[in-house]
A and B are shown apart, each in its own frame.
Chain A
Amino acid sequence: MHVASLYASAIASGALKDVGLTIVSSLIALLLGIAGALARLYGGSVIGGLVYWYVELIRGLPAILQLFIIFFGLTQFGIDLSPVAASVLWLVAYGTGYAVEIFRAGIMEVPTGQREAADALGLSSLKILQKIIVPQAWVGMLPNLTSFLVLQLKNTTLLYLVGYADIMYQARLGADATEQPGILYLMAALAYLVIALVIAVAGLRMERRAALYR
């Protein structure tokens, strides 16, 4: 128990760093994901194909390998990224791949009749997207967006491998220093559980609110 109180603040600071990075990188990734999904759906075969293979690469390669390619691999070309920079870059690159799929699926779930009706009423493509497709797609996408955030949060566990001072990094430091890995990794697990729970609860509340508009 002594160890637990000693390292509680270190784990908490790691947790803050994880949450911060998750939020920042997810926001950027979601924006890029929207652009990617639109490019994939309406961008023609070349651009759409590029986005398709980008998504496949992100989904097909192990997370660690992607992170290492950015952090270690790029040094071969003289690009030496700091741990934070490599972490953000990877989380954004990874998140974008998954976000594209979420938005693409969400947009495709809206029945084509909706689009055709709006088209027949003379709305422009942009207006159709903005007023018809997005509001309806949004509700269906919420559960996926929640799991997206949890996925990104879990991905931050890998960042200690490139020296980012997250929860795992602090737990590892503590485990090495005190030779008490038992309690320290339990604390790490607990920290992730709590954060994941908060995300899940927030997601459910948003789903409930969004469902009211249906």
Chain B
Amino acid sequence: MIALWRQYLPQFFQGVGVTLELTALSLLVALLFGFLLALARLSGWRGLVLGATVYTEVIRAIPVLVLLFLAYYSLAQAGIKLSGMTAAVVTLGGFYATLYGEIFRGAILGVDRGQSEAALALGMNRRTVMRKIVLPQAFFTILPPATNQLSNLIKDTSLVFTVGVTDLMFQAYAASSATFQPMDMLLLAGIVYFVFYLVLSKFLTRWELNVQRRRG
């Protein structure tokens, strides 16, 4: 088993690289788009609120794999041919934007209203109030659930091997077929995924909660 692991380690490392790249890009899209969704839902403009709410509720209810196939296969039929990687980033970014949007919205709503009222009374405009008063206070509430979703995102990147992206899961699957030792290969991938999970969900989240508690 160890000898096999040694032999396949380079491929696995490549796979981890693709997984991390995909995670980073998807996270970036999800954070930006999620922030926009949260602002749209809080804007008070009926059309924007409705659009963002419908998007959030519908996308959240559809399984990620179905969304991925829609982005990869269905869009291609409509003439929009995305590479596996692009389709994956669009899908994971678009799906996780709904989850991050809700986290942002909850945190912004969680900041005491007196804070923004006081700032408005001092003559700041709404953008400055958001930037200087509300967001800094919302930030530490956002961190633990956001980190938790990040560890879910890493796990969900494993779906993209179905559209031919050569991530960690792809390498594990390929090595399983090549060696006829599927358990050994899947376990190796499992260890990598589990370490990511432990680091993010256990240590980082716990540390963030501690920081939050100390700030009172």
A62-B156, A62-B158 known; A168 vs B193 contact (CB < 8 Å): no
Residue A125 at the chain B interface, CB threshold 8 Å: no
Additional pairs, 10, CB under 8 Å, beyond known A69-B186, A189-B66:
A56-B198, A64-B158, A64-B159, A68-B172, A72-B176, A157-B64, A157-B65, A183-B74, A185-B66, A196-B62
Which of B64, B69, B197 touches A59 (beta carbons < 8 Å)?
A: B197
Size of B's binding interface in residues, CB under 8 A: 41
Contact with A along B185-197 (1 / 0, CB 8 A): 0110110011001
Residue A84 at the chain B interface, CB threshold 8 Å: no
Cβ distance B49 to chain A, nearest Cβ, rounded Å: 20
Structural contact, A168 and B190, CB atoms closer than 8 A: no
Which of A65, A74, A168, A193 touches B169 (beta carbons < 8 Å)?
A: A65
**In the complex, residue of chain A having the shortest beta-carbon distance to the beta carbon of B58:** A193
Structural contact, A63 and B155, CB atoms closer than 8 A: yes
Interface of A is mostly: helix
* Chain A interface category by residue count: 35 or more
A150 partner residues in chain B, CB cutoff 8 A? 61
**In the complex, residue of chain A having the shortest beta-carbon distance to the beta carbon of B197:** A60
> With A and B bound together, what is the CA distance between A171 and B182 in angstroms?
28
Residue A73 at the chain B interface, CB threshold 8 Å: yes
Cβ distance A186 to chain B, nearest Cβ, rounded Å: 7
Residue A122 at the chain B interface, CB threshold 8 Å: no
A75-B182, A189-B70 known; A62 vs B58 contact (CB < 8 Å): no
The 10 closest A-B pairs by CB, nearest first: A60-B197, A181-B73, A62-B158, A73-B183, A72-B182, A154-B63, A182-B77, A76-B183, A62-B155, A157-B63
Cβ distance A107 to chain B, nearest Cβ, rounded Å: 22
Residue A137 at the chain B interface, CB threshold 8 Å: no
B63 partner residues in chain A, CB cutoff 8 A? 153-154, 157, 192
Structural contact, B66 and A157, CB atoms closer than 8 A: yes
Contact with B along A70-101 (1 / 0, CB 8 A): 00111111000000000000000000000000
A177 partner residues in chain B, CB cutoff 8 A? none
Which of B64, B74, B162 touches A182 (beta carbons < 8 Å)?
A: B74
A153 partner residues in chain B, CB cutoff 8 A? 63
Cβ distance B105 to chain A, nearest Cβ, rounded Å: 18
A74 partner residues in chain B, CB cutoff 8 A? 183
**In the complex, residue of chain B having the shortest beta-carbon distance to the beta carbon of A191:** B66
